[in-house]
């Protein structure tokens, strides 16, 4: 498991076509944008459908945010 994390960190820490921005930063940025889009879509859907979907939509948004936070932590190298 640690080898897998190390290989991911090496892959994501190498600079990309933009100087100084690594693939990990780009991935974190894309995940952040996806979380925001997911939250907006969920809120708009909930406004139309009502209470029962509210819990389900919040669960989806929380899962997106959890996945984004975990991936950012792994890519930034906090779990060593």
In tens, the pLDDT along 21-79 reads 566 667 777 777 887 787 777 777 666 655 555 566 677 777 777 777 777 767 666 54
Instruction: Assess if residue 58 is contained within a domain.
Output: yes
Rounded distance, CA 80 to CA 46, Å?
40
Instruction: Assess if residue 60 is contained within a domain.
Output: yes
Q: Taking a C-beta distance cutoff of 8 angstroms, is the pair 55, 62 a contact?
A: no
Instruction: Assess if residue 13 is contained within a domain.
Output: no
For the chain, the domain total comes to 1
pTM of the model: 0.38
| pLDDT value at residue 23 | 66
Q: How confident is the model at residue 10 (pLDDT cuts 50, 70, 90)?
A: low
Instruction: Assess if residue 43 is contained within a domain.
Output: yes
Q: How many CA atoms lie within 13 A of 15 on its CB side?
A: 5
Q: Residue 74's domain spans which residues?
A: 24-80
Instruction: Return the SS3 of 22.
Output: strand
Instruction: Assess if residue 4 is contained within a domain.
Output: no
Q: Taking a C-beta distance cutoff of 8 angstroms, is the pair 4, 14 a contact?
A: no
Instruction: Assess if residue 65 is contained within a domain.
Output: yes
Contact partners, residue 24, CB within 8 Å, separation at least 6: 9, 12, 13, 75, 76
Instruction: Assess if residue 15 is contained within a domain.
Output: no
């Amino acid at each position: 498991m640690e080898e897998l994390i190390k290989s991911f960190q090496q892959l994501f820490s190498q600079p990309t076509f933009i100087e100084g921005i690594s693939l990990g930063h780009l991935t974190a940025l894309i995940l952040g944008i996806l979380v925001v889009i997911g939250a907006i879509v969920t809120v708009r859907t909930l406004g139309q459908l009502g209470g029962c979907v509210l819990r389900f939509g919040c669960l989806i948004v929380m899962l997106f945010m959890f996945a984004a936070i975990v991936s950012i932590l792994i890519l930034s190298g906090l779990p060593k």
